[in-house]
Amino acid sequence: SIYEMFGNECCLSTGEVIKVIGFKINKLVASISENNEVSRCSTKVELPLNFPGLYKVVADKTPYVSIEEITRKVFIGPTRFGHPCFYSPEDIKLSSLTIKHGEQITFNSVEEINGTMTVNCGVVRNNQCHSFTLPLSQEGKFYECEDDQIYTLKEIAEWKISKCRNRTVKLSSTLHTWDSSNPLPENFDGCLVLTPVYEVQAVMKFRKDIVRILSDLDIEVKDITDCYDINSFLQPLSLEDVFERTSKEFPMVAEIMERPPGNQKPYNLLYTGKEIVIYKKFQATRVLASEIRSDFPKRHFLIPMSYKGKFKRRPREFPTAYDLEIARTEKEQLHVVATKAFDSPHEELFSVSVGDQFLVQQSQTSEVLYEGRKKLIDVLACEQILRDTYKKVLIPMYMEGGFVEVIHDKKQYQLSEICKEFCLPFNVKVSVRDLSIEEDVLAAVPGLKFEEEITDSYLLISSANSPVECWEIPVYRLNMSVHLLSKYVQTVVPPVTKTTVEEISEEQYYMVRRYENQTLHPPPRPPKKP
């Protein structure tokens, strides 16, 4: 008989035929290391994949001995995580160029060229990428490069733990306050050596769900792949698999095999066994917004452009004069109040007092006396607002103080209007909630900071039995499996799309900001001294 405990199969009957569809890390055993070394007496704790925190991976000091070993043990693929980097301690001479020892080599993809399996690689020299291929037969020592990115534990488990190896990580940010239920020591800042515990994912002949079998289950199996019709099994597809299908294959009918976690609408309506119509795949724009509050944690949202609520502006805060220059626009004059005093070290420049009000004009350069010599520095030209007049003043661009915006605009804006007329980030509050949403979560938030626009991948779906409304579901943030049904789609034209504001976790927020807009970096701040 088959029975289940904690979501895993614990017993399989003799003669049961199963089709293994994949292997996945179920949990991690972490050995706590204070000095990057693990001894027999090191404390070990079990960590679930959703354990909070952001981590930096420590480069593996054990080399790989060939390109073939790397492709066998390391994830290489088209996704944003699938481009590992290595270096060789020796020069590698190729027909087109020579890879110097210690030079970072990025592995992009694996493909067959003229009957030879190769890896498409690249090196960056003088801001230019040089592409080349390495055959899997290439031998030598290849070491993992240092990685300055931060990852969630789930990302590390899925992409950054090589097969048959452990992974050492260092905690970068906890994201949550420590409490007694946390298995890690309070104020822990050492390293964790992660050992993966795998589960086998399989399908059975007469079951429509995905069976999960822990890798330490004591059973004997026999490989009958060559003498069995594997097409008689259901073929589970992830949302990524569905998204990779060609546009001509849509619309399609599917049955949910594994429902997404959580009770957030519409995910709570997507239960196991439900039949859905997937109308199309597409890219959509969302506005990433965060709750304005001084304490932690903040809530984060992805707002669709179809949101029908209205917003009023809220004052922005600027920590430096340089931030005023970034926020300044030609459309309207920026009016601010100083919240922190600043004494200028130069007679030519203005000293700011708390409560001073300014109209920001433009950036320019000014000549000041510095260490006995005249020097040009960047300044911000402003008009100080006095009781019945204005005074032209110059504030050093490097000034660290504090300013709060004075809002004169009382207009109510649609989301699309804000994105068109203003530069993000932008502070707002909901003045009129979206009446088409049963419970508008944004209306209860006292203030929102629109951070940036992002473009993400979505599937448009509806219920197959009663297609009254459609939902846009994210491809890369929703863990859901389906299998396709050979049913005719009765309604080719999708029904009305329901507006959904997606609330995302702290980890998802960091992932969206880090990967969706890697090219949008603010310019560097000016030096604090001229």
DSSP line for 324-354 = HHHH--SSS--EEEE-S-B--SSTTSPPB-T
What pLDDT score does 424 carry? 84
97 has a pLDDT exceeding 60: yes
Contact 312, 431 (CB under 8 A): yes
Contact 258, 412 (CB under 8 A): no
- Position with higher pLDDT, 212 vs 174: 212
DSSP, res 151: B
Q: Which amino acid is at 34?
A: E
Residues 6+ apart with CB under 8 A from 509: 288, 290, 300
pLDDT tens digit string along 245-285? 888 889 999 999 888 887 777 888 899 889 999 999 999 99
How many Cβ atoms from other residues are within 10 Å of residue 85's Cβ? 17
- Position with higher pLDDT, 27 vs 63: 63
Distances (CA, A) of 46 to 27, 161, 172, 408: 7, 16, 19, 55
Contact 286, 277 (CB under 8 A): no
Query: Among 130-134, 222-226, 277-281, which stretch is predicted with the lowest mean pLDDT?
Result: 222-226
Cα atoms in the Cβ-side hemisphere of radius 13 Å centred on 19: 21
Contact 465, 447 (CB under 8 A): no
Burial class (CB in 10 A: 0-12, 13-18, 19+), 332: exposed
- Position with higher pLDDT, 373 vs 448: 448
What pLDDT score does 375 carry? 85
What pLDDT score does 199 carry? 85
With a pLDDT cut of 70, the percent of the chain lying above it is 90
pLDDT tens digit string along 152-192? 888 898 889 998 899 999 988 765 555 666 777 777 777 88
Strand blocks (E) in 136-190: 139-144, 167-173
With a pLDDT cut of 90, the percent of the chain lying above it is 36
Query: Among 200-209, 232-241, 305-314, which stretch is predicted with the lowest mean pLDDT?
Result: 200-209
242 has a pLDDT exceeding 50: yes
Phi and psi torsions of 463, nearest 5°: -70, 140
- As a whole number of angstroms, the distance between CA 365 and CA 370 comes to 14
What pLDDT score does 113 carry? 85
Bridge partners of 276?
254, 463
Q: What mean pLDDT do residues 65-80 have?
A: 87
- Binning pLDDT at 50, 70 and 90, where does residue 18 land? confident
Q: Average pLDDT, whole number, for the chain?
A: 84
- As a whole number of angstroms, the distance between CA 299 and CA 444 comes to 12
What pLDDT score does 8 carry? 55
- As a whole number of angstroms, the distance between CA 239 and CA 483 comes to 10
Q: What mean pLDDT do residues 320-324 have?
A: 87
Q: Which of 388, 390, 398, 403 is nearest to 368 (CA)?
A: 398
How many Cβ atoms from other residues are within 10 Å of residue 118's Cβ? 20
DSSP line for 397-458 = TT-EEEEEEPP-----B-HHHHHHHSPSSEEEEEEE--TTSSS-GGGG-S-EEEEEEEEEEE
Phi and psi torsions of 523, nearest 5°: -65, 155
Structural tokens at position 493: 């034209």
